[in-house]
Amino acid sequence: MTLTLPAGESSSVLASSSGEPSSRSSGRPVTSSHRADITRWMAGLHDELTSFFGRLDRGGTFIEDRWERPGGGGGVARVMTDGVTFEKAGINRSAVMGTLPEAAARRLGGTGATQGSTMFFATGVSLVVHPRSPMVPTVHLNVRYFELTDEQGRVTDRWFGGGTDLTPFYPHEDDPRTFHQALARMCERHHPAFYADFKAWCDRYFVNTHRDNEARGCGGIFFDHLRPDDPTHGRDAEALQAFVSDVARVLRFAYEPIVERRRDEPFGEREREFQLARRGRYVEFNLVHDRGTTFGLQTNARVESVLMSLPPLAMWQYAPRYAPGSFESRLMAMLAPRDWLSSS
């Protein structure tokens, strides 16, 4: 499947129509055209990512499934299950709105989220790719925009979130190094603190705390509640949208080189079994700790889309022990957070 969007199309859909700086919460009623523009922007990123992974797989096809949410909005799921390189690849987009359940409001923590009835609008693109070969890491990427409004339709809060992270199954240290170097270069174009701040956030977030704080993978970047004109980073809505667009496009430089150098490496049953066991830990994180999964289930989102991130096959071993010096033990050691820009 080939779906394309002009690469130069990056005009902001969030800048103030009056030319004034965008604020954290304008207090003005939201317009349907404003949300339609944001939704089109996300749809463009969705098309780009579908085209990218269709090409990178070298043979698989995406099936498309459009769905509607009873409470408002809907989305498009694209899933590949016949891939040459990827055992399963899912790339979803959604734009949903409605009344925010109390539990979800408390979890979000945005301004106005616990004051009376809070309405929400959320749109984003999320992907998870599970390769066939245990030599090729799993990758996850998500970009999103969130908006809260009060009962009169006035915006009380809005923010961006997202990130991307790498989950290897074999201790090739060059792979997370390639991944992090590409992320650092991309972040540096937007803010000198973005990479360091968002890498540290990612290292804290993707952790199975119920497994003695075992990391899910080798990290990447993660950010949430990134608000226009927030004093921490001082970027307006247009600049933040440009950053989020670059996050969505960074896998061409962060992930494609890894796939190209690992896709044909040989492996055996032992490597495959370890891959499936590590996928089990991936499943545990997504079902127990992941905010997106929890939010989707709390807001009656489409379950097939919410659980799209789960691998087609996984396994659980009872209290596994790995011999010192084995590739398994070296992989587990490689998961500990480190400075991938200077390590060698």
Residues that are catalytic: 140
* Structure tokens, 172: 């090739």
How distant is the alpha carbon of residue 300 from its chain centre? Answer: 20
**Of the candidates 128, 159, 127, 292, which has an alpha carbon nearest to the alpha carbon of residue 224?**
159
Report how far apart, in Å, the C-alpha atoms of 194 and of each of 24, 148, 339 are: 19, 25, 15
Q: State the Cα–Cα distance between residues 194 and 251, nearest whole angstrom.
A: 17
Residue type, position 169, single letter: F
Ramachandran assignment for 315, one of left (phi > 0), alpha (psi -120 to 50 degrees), beta (any other): beta
Helices 174-188 and 237-249 sit at what angle, rounded to 10 degrees? 160
Q: State the Cα–Cα distance between residues 64 and 42, nearest whole angstrom.
A: 16
